[in-house]
Copies of this chain bind each other. A is one copy, B any other.
Amino acid sequence: MVHYQARLDATFAALSDVTRRGVLEQLGGSDASITDLAQRFRMTLTGMKKHVSILEQAGLVTTEKVGRVRTCKLGLRRLEEEAAWIEQHRQLWNARFDALDKLVEQLKRKEKADAQRKSR
């Protein structure tokens, strides 16, 4: 899986731009041409074309040109790998913080015991 890391790179990079997340949002509602998208995001055709290409590269969008208009749709990749990566690390996070919680609990108990010992 040499490509796994490269794919994560490309996808997270694609998602790290607010315009591109907006495009995905839009395409979730309905397909759109480059012109549609360029208008909605106040950008030149050329600029939007680049964004769409990046999303396409990451597999998040597919496009097809018929006549002179290129129609963009959501792609076949459904972010499974990215969801899995994030979920895995959320679990790591939680495990570590649970351990921390336990430690804090222990300290609290010890503190209480000390206080009681002192009051005797």
> A-side interface residues toward B, CB under 8 Å?
5, 8-9, 11-13, 15-18, 21, 24-25, 28, 73-74, 78-80, 82-83, 85-87, 89-90, 92-94, 96-97
Q: Given A83-B86, A87-B83, A92-B74, answer yes or no on A9-B16 (Cβ-Cβ < 8 Å).
A: yes
Cα separation A95 to B72 with both chains bound (whole Å):
17
- Pick the contact of A15: B12, B74, B96 (CB < 8 A): B12
Which 9 pairs show the lowest CB-CB distances between chains A and B? Answer: A12-B16, A28-B92, A13-B16, A12-B15, A78-B93, A5-B18, A83-B86, A79-B86, A12-B12
Q: Interface residues of A: mostly helix, strand, loop or mixed?
A: helix
Q: In the assembly, how many copies of this chain are there?
A: 2
Known: A13-B16, A78-B93, A79-B90. 7 other contacts (CB 8 A): A5-B21, A8-B21, A9-B16, A12-B13, A16-B16, A78-B94, A82-B86
- Pick the contact of A96: B25, B74, B87 (CB < 8 A): B74
